[in-house]
């Protein structure tokens, strides 16, 4: 999201269009480029103590993933959010093996 600079000076964002005169930061998607991000989403585990050791076990072998690309024209989900793209997949982890 481009963050306009208030009246072209300082570190404050200009909120109304009448205040926009510079740019503090721009995290928008640049044209004709691919932006790659990676994320680790952990499966839920249960941790128990046995013989003085902490042992973790998985509580579910599947995980429902949802990736959503939202555009928030006014900066928050409360004000006219736009769902641009959506991806859903259930991933599975093995239950066999040591």
Partner 1 sequence: MKKSLYLLAALVLLVTGNMLCWAAPSGVGRDQPLAAQPKADSIAELVARYDSSSCVGCHQQAHDEWAKSIHARSIFGTGRTAATFKTAIINGAMDWPASGVKSPKDVKVEHLQGCTKCHLPQLADATDKVAQEIVTTIWDWDAAMKKDDTDKAEKLEKTLSSLNINCLICHNRNAITHKWSEGYPKKDTVYGSKSGEHMDGKFTKMAKGQIMSESIMCGQCHGQGPNFDQENPTQCATGYASYLMAYVPEGGNKTCQQCHMQESKLGHNMQSYRSKEMAQKAVEMHVDTNSVYWRDNTTIRPKAAVRIELTNKAGHGIPDG
- Tell me: does residue 76 bind partner 1 (CB under 8 A): no
In contact, 27 and 13? CB cutoff 8 Å: no
Buried b (16+ CB within 10 A) or exposed e, 59-90: eeeeeeeeeeeeeeeeeeeeeeeeeeeeeeee
CB of 57 to partner 1, least distance (A): 7
Is residue 70 near partner 1 by the rule CB under 8 A?
no
Instruction: Output the CA torsion 35→28→30→20 (10° steps).
Output: -160
Among residues 42, 76, 77, 78, the one that binds partner 1 under rule CB under 8 A: 42
For the bound state, the minimum distance from the C-beta of residue 40 to partner 1, rounded and expressed in Å, comes to 5
- Residue 17 exposed, middle or buried by CB count within 10 Å (0-12, 13-18, 19+): exposed
Q: Is residue 77 at the binding interface for partner 1, with CB under 8 A as the rule? A: no
Quick check: 75 binds partner 1 (CB under 8 A)? no
**Under the rule (CB under 8 A), what is the footprint of partner 1?**
1-2, 4, 8, 16-22, 26, 28-43, 45, 53-58, 63, 65, 67, 69, 71, 73, 82, 84-85, 87, 89, 91-94, 97
């Amino acid at each position: 999201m481009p963050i306009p600079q208030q009246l072209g000076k300082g570190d404050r964002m200009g909120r109304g269009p009448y205040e926009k005169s510079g740019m503090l930061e721009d995290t928008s998607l640049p044209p004709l480029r691919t932006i790659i991000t990676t994320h680790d989403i952990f499966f839920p585990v249960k941790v128990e103590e046995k013989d003085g050791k902490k042992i973790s076990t998985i509580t579910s072998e599947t995980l429902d993933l949802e990736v959503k690309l939202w555009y928030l024209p006014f900066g928050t989900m409360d004000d006219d959010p736009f769902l641009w793209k959506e991806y859903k997949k259930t991933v599975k982890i093995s239950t066999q093996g040591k």
